[in-house]
Amino acid sequence: MELSEHMIPKSECSRLPLGTLNVTELLSRPQRAPDYAAENQALVSLAESLANRSDDIFQRLAQHALTLCGAHSAGISLLDEENGQPVFRWRAIQGKLEPFVNCTMPRYFSPCGDVVDGNKPLLIQNPVLHYQSLSGLDLELGLDLCEALLVPFQNGEKAVGTLWVVAHDHHKHFVQDDLRCLESLCKFASASVMALENIKNLESTSQKLKDVQLRMDTALGIGAIATWVWDIDSNRVYADHNLANLFGVAACDADGGQVETFLDAIHPDDRDAVRLRIQKSLESREAYEAEYRIEGEGQPLRWVSARGRVMERDGVKGTRLIGVVVDVTERRKMEDQLRIKTEQLAEASQRKDEFLATLSHELRSPLNIIQGHTELLRLETPGTPEFGLPHHHRENAARHIRLRSQGYCGGCHAGHSIRSGCEIHPPSL
């Protein structure tokens, strides 16, 4: 809800209305004695709101301004945006104007706009007569806006709104002590609001960091990866829960425990080698790499691959070894299985060669006898019964026997299939 539809151009915002008075006017008015006890109580109440991080700090601020100044209405207006236009939003109101809480006013040529632009207090008599943006307030609620006192509400050095009090009675006039109280409340409240914003920003940043940490932990957990930092000077290890689980150590040991706790979890046969690699890396400043077994308490034997780097702290004395540990147990199992299969294949190949060698020997003996008889047939003289076999048949039989003998023997020695280099059709004898 906007109090007025009339938006005055920004060029006119520097011209103050005729009803605006210099706050030095307050000095000429009858003064009242300061009530420091009530003021201190108000500040304590605001401090409690800050401590409790209450969202009603603006309402409390308006209530204390109303009470301390004896006003009929009090509130706080802050810069905002609505429908793409800059406006002032009445964030909190106490008193007779309370029905207008959360309404908006134009940014330019309004009492709040003049205070923010000048970054100084403003005292206005009959403000409705001089600011069209306030027209309708007195008619809607039947209230007179007789006098208003506004002070800038700052965020750091920049004015971002106003704290204001209004008198609806012509007999009520604000005095110098009212200005002092408003400025005191405003200064404390603005510091409080900045503190709350900082806390919210820190909480938001903290939550984002937690989200990033959760995503990283999830990724590391899926990949069976652990991270660690060893502060060498203090001999303290700071690691994530993945490393604690992997090494089977307590959570407190992963948050500043001694490095020996982690070294004790390494398999005894690998421990000395790991120590030597760490020492070499510290002395040479080279990258640290090691692959070893760990057997944490209550944990199965695991193979891990560790990598790290020695780093000097920026601007701080001391050296750290930072790195990661990856669970490679499954990889090592696959490598062992592959090695066993390779050995089994090699053994089977050896047995095959031995079998073929034996077979070659067993085949060669009878073939030699047959080959000898065939040679004898070739040497038979005319007139004998055996000589009646055609000559080309005898030659073909002898050639067939030689090739078969060479094929069996040569193939067996080579470790291949027993076969002849050519196809032969022996004749019927």
pLDDT of residue 9: 35
pLDDT of residue 317: 52
Of 125, 165, 113, 101, residue with least CA distance to 6: 113
Q: Are 89 and 103 in contact (CB under 8 A)?
A: yes
Q: Tell me, yes or no, if the two domains 10-201 and 224-327 fold the same way.
A: yes
Whether the predicted model's global pTM rises above the 0.85 cut: no
Homologous superfamily, domain 224-327:
PAS domain (3.30.450.20)
Q: Are 225 and 324 in contact (CB under 8 A)?
A: yes
Task: Give the whole-angstrom CA distance, residue 336 versus residue 320.
Answer: 35
Q: What tokens were used for 175? A: 């005095």
Domain boundaries along the sequence of the chain: 10-201, 224-327, 342-414
Q: What tokens were used for 13? A: 């915002």
Domain 10-201 CATH (choose: 3.40.190.10, 3.30.450.40, 3.90.1010.10, 1.10.579.10): 3.30.450.40
pLDDT of residue 87: 92
Which segments of the chain have a pLDDT < 50? 1-2, 4-18, 408-429
Task: Give the whole-angstrom CA distance, residue 46 versus residue 65.
Answer: 12
Task: Give the whole-angstrom CA distance, residue 266 versus residue 272.
Answer: 9
Note the pLDDT tens digit of each residue in 12-50: 333 444 455 667 778 788 888 888 888 888 888 877 776
Cα 136 to chain centroid, rounded: 53
CA separation (Å) from 410 to 23, 251, 353, 361?
A: 121, 69, 12, 11
Q: Tell me, what DSSP letter sits at residue 232? A: T
Q: 10 Å Cβ neighbour count for 124?
A: 26
Q: What tokens were used for 48? A: 């409690």
Task: Count the alpha carbons within 13 Å of 22 in the hemisphere toward its beta carbon.
Answer: 4
pLDDT of residue 175: 92
SS3 294: strand
Mean pLDDT value across the chain: 76
pLDDT of residue 21: 61
pLDDT of residue 221: 57
